[in-house]
């Protein structure tokens, strides 16, 4: 039973990571739409130096956060699968006894 509680906790962490991934992806999408909007409004079709730097900085930070979350989620998924395999093996051994 303790093993199942551990799995529940791990699955909750994975769910939280997935929600954060969705939120960051949404912000990146909004940022892209914002850049497009600025370009459409600007008669020259260019962003100011500040806008470019700010957008680049924000986008780089978000992509770093996104890749970190994805890596963490992949590791947690792998651990959950390993734990499930161990539990199933333990149950199979108990049935065989």
Q: In whole angstroms, what separates CA 51 from the centre of its chain?
A: 26
Residue 30 inside a domain? The answer is yes
At residue 80, φ and ψ (nearest 5 deg) are -60, -45
Confirm whether 75 is domain-assigned. yes
| pLDDT (tens digit per residue) in 37-52 | 666 665 566 667 787 7
Q: Is 47 within the bounds of a domain?
A: yes
Q: What is the span of the domain harbouring residue 56? A: 21-96
- What is the reported pLDDT for 97? 66
Residue 68 located in a structural domain: yes
**Res 7: pLDDT:** 87
How many domains does the chain contain in total?
A: 1
Alpha-carbon span 74 to 79, nearest angstrom: 9
Chain CA centroid to CA 77, Å: 12
Instruction: Specify if 69 maps to a domain.
Output: yes
* Domain assignment present for 14: no
By the 10 Å C-beta count (0-12 exposed, 13-18 middle, 19+ buried), 64 is classed as exposed
Question: pLDDT averaged over the chain?
Answer: 84
Confidence (pLDDT) at 66:
93
Mean pLDDT of 10-35: 88
Q: What was the pLDDT predicted at 1?
A: 64
**pLDDT category of residue 72 using cuts at 50, 70 and 90:** very high
Q: Would you say residue 8 lies in a domain?
A: no
Q: Please indicate, yes or no, if residue 6 is contained in any of the structural domains.
A: no
Task: Give the model's pLDDT for residue 18.
Answer: 94
Compute the C-alpha angle 85/91/96, nearest 5°: 125
Closest CA to 85 of 2, 3, 1: 3
């Amino acid at each position: 039973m303790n093993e199942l509680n551990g799995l529940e906790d791990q699955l909750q962490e994975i769910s939280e990571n997935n929600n954060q991934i969705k939120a960051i992806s949404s912000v990146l999408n909004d940022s892209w739409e914002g850049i497009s909007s600025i370009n459409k409004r600007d008669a020259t079709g260019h962003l100011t130096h500040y806008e470019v730097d700010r957008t680049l900085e924000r986008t780089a930070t978000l992509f770093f956060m996104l890749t970190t979350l994805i890596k963490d989620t992949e590791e947690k998924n792998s651990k959950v699968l390993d734990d499930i395999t161990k539990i199933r093996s333990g149950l199979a051994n108990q049935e065989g006894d």
